[in-house]
Amino acid sequence: MRKSNDDVTTAKVEVLQSIGASLGQKQTSSLNSKDEDELFGALISSQMRQIAPDRKVLAKMQISNILYQEMLASFSTMPVPYTAEQ
């Protein structure tokens, strides 16, 4: 009977270790994998660094306006056209 209890305890420890390792892998992989939006954000930020400081404010405003228009479009059946002010 003693041997059976030791086997069960060992099996429980192995299962818990397996679960812990699996959770650790998921956390690590989610930190290392970036989705499409994160990668696009990195591209935009690298391009923003090439814009003159006095023009950055206008570029940021235009990008924000495009994003807000797209978010608001989901609430309306009529498309909201983007108009860039130069």
**pTM assigned to the model:** 0.50
Query: pLDDT grade, residue 30 (50/70/90)?
Result: low
Secondary element (H or E) of residue 29: helix 2-32
| pLDDT computed for residue 67 by the predictor | 93
Report the alpha-carbon distance of residue 68 to residue 80 in Å, rounded: 10
